[in-house]
A and B are shown apart, each in its own frame.
Chain A
Amino acid sequence: MTAIASARRRRRAVDRLAAAAIIAAGIGVIVPLLAILLFLLVKGLPALHVDLFTRITTGAPDGGIKNSIVGSAVLLALALVMGLPPAIATGIYLAEYGRGRLGFLIRFLVDVLAGVPSITIGLFVYTAVVLNMGKVQAITHSDQKFTAFAGGVALALIMLPIVSRVTEEMLLLVPQMTREASFALGVPKWRTILTVVLPAASSGVLTGVVLASARVAGEAAPLLFTTLGNNFYSISVFRPIDALPLRIYTYATGPFQYQHDQAWAASFILVMLVLLLSVSARLILQRRLR
């Protein structure tokens, strides 16, 4: 009897210990987020200033990061223009046509592509685009090798797998009956997809697009060797351009206090932007699922 009783005590003690460890892990995972957000508030908020938004980088404490903010917007727009059409087309293929072995292979490769490090994407775009800019000088009218265009290509490549897979999943959520109703009216499949299925899934696809935008807005690694960064204001597609994450990286490694302060302020702006995008993506999705 006592043997059983002591075994039961031991089992109960182990159970309590395990529960404590698991609960500690559950609380532990939110500590880093709170710590990062806290320091962004403490260090970033006081460094925020109107001049940051209206002045360009001057190499002195009175400079701003207008060129970086505008550059990030230009890069994001380029990435969307170049990335969305192929990503959505791939998503349509995977959801509507990719049933066979080829579909499996492509779905698999899209997932694998999502795991390729962004620095490798940057290297690839450097070799494939930046090194070849000389050959298209006649079209671009620019002698620059490092361009906003190359950065846009890199970001589009990062977007591609995310948006493709979300598009696929959202198209598959549209009930088969919707398609059949359209077929019954004699609408061919391609037109059914474009005018019935895709609109029905549009808010879901939009969620994916917003999430992918949030992801690439924070990427600096693929821009290091493609857009290079720029201390001056530029919105030209075929010139080097600055971006918020690039500016943060440059300033975090810089020697001056004002650079560190502006890096915190830029991080605050960037994180607010990214969190805003993530939260709105979630709200769009919730409205759809409800």
Chain B
Amino acid sequence: MQLTDTRARADLQRSGRLLGRFDRRELLFRALVTAVALSVLLLVLAMIYELTRQAWPAISKFGLRFLWSTEWNPPKERFGALPFIAGTLITSLLALVFGTVVGLGAALFLVEFAPPWVRVPVSYMVELLAAIPSVVYGLWGVFVLGPWIQHTAGPFVLDYFSWLPFVKGPPLGVGIFAAVLILTIMILPTIVAISRDVIAAVPRSQREGILALGATRWEMIRIAVLPYARSGVLGAAILGLARAIGETLAVALVIGNSTNVPDSIFSPAYTMASVIANQFREVENDMHRAALIYVGLLLLIITLIINAFARLLVWRVTKGQITTVIE
């Protein structure tokens, strides 16, 4: 025992010496790629640090009151982000609801219903939807979707749903409603792609078992498929939410730009991202700039938390094999 042990050690030492020439370069290469990879960590920290530093005048002056103050008054240097936080939450959450319902339905269609000659092109077209630039959605939103809302969809919704709270006022074409529609379309590819993958990952035996008990196709989906895919679909929805919250130019073009807290689904408003895009180039004073960077910092923190949560969920379901990197 002792003998083999020392012999093995001697062998190791000799081969180590032999490889010594390579070893140093191996270490160098390893150190290099590790250092580059570590810079990703530094990058995230640097973002938080830099934005905090530049937003500091606003942070020290308004503190956490910034989160619930509704006054946004650049000339008087009084700033509160509630209108934008409200705008972001309302548009993103509504888009999330619509996007998840339609996206989950489409994912079920692709996995459970569609024959391959339908599944492949439809999957492909949904992915192309993700490739269209945000600003093109915005242009389409301004010149096609806006007039349609103003003349067709808006009056229709007002006629039939004005008994609902927050459904009132003239449909202007630009406003919350247009932003929600655009965001719904934009987060669909994320939700469809991930939901499709987690639904496809439900074991066949699970489906066959319940079909053998005489279940209809819908009962199979409801009892055997959806519970199994639940946390993955939740992860997909949250990733979609993160995308909706961060979406900038498409929203900036259609949301109507108002610093008031919206009181109707047709109100013009601002989201956190769109107010930065719209006002940052024409700031009126240093405090205005700091306040906008403060909004950007909040946006960064919110999306970091939501993304971290969603990634962990999706990872748990797919066991680390993320199939969708491109969003």
Residues of A within 8 A of B (CB): 11-12, 14-15, 18-19, 21-26, 28-30, 32-33, 35-36, 39-40, 43, 86, 89-90, 92-94, 96-98, 105-106, 108-120, 123-124, 127-128, 131, 157, 160-162, 164-166, 169, 188-191, 193, 208, 211-212, 214-215, 217-221, 224-225, 228, 245, 248-249, 252-253, 260, 263-264, 267, 270-271, 274-275, 278, 282
Contacts and interface: CB of A to CB of B under 8 A. Distances in A.
B contacts with A: majority SS: helix
Contacts of A114: 307, 325, 327
B273 interface: yes
A117 B126 contact: no
Nearest to B280: A225
Given A112-B44, A248-B136, A29 B221 contact: no
Nearest to A28: B102
A29 B280 contact: no
B163 interface: no
Q: Which of A36, A43, A224, A248 has the most CB of B within 10 A?
A: A36
Interface stretch (B1-9, B152-160, B212-220, B258-266): B212-220
B303 A120 contact: yes
B102 A119 contact: no
Interface string B130-154: 0111111111101110000000000
A178 to B, nearest CB: 18
Given A22-B112, A30-B126, A248-B136, 19 more contacts: A11-B219, A14-B218, A19-B218, A23-B109, A25-B108, A26-B114, A30-B122, A39-B140, A96-B33, A106-B38, A111-B311, A120-B296, A124-B50, A127-B53, A127-B54, A189-B29, A214-B131, A245-B134, A248-B135
Given A90-B40, A274-B132, A112 B308 contact: yes
Interface stretch (B69-77, B201-209, B240-248): B240-248
Please classify the interface of chain A as helix (H, G, I), strand (E, B), loop, or mixed, using the class held by over half of its residues: helix
A190 B36 contact: no
A190 B37 contact: no
Given A11-B216, A19-B218, A97-B33, A26 B133 contact: no
Q: Which 10 A/B pairs are nearest by Cβ-Cβ distance?
A: A218-B133, A117-B246, A25-B105, A26-B109, A115-B307, A190-B29, A188-B22, A18-B218, A15-B216, A93-B37
Contact of A278 (B114, B131, B249): B131
A21 to B, nearest CB: 6
Contacts of B325: 114, 161-162, 165-166, 169, 208
Contacts of B299: 117, 119-120
A98 B37 CA distance: 9
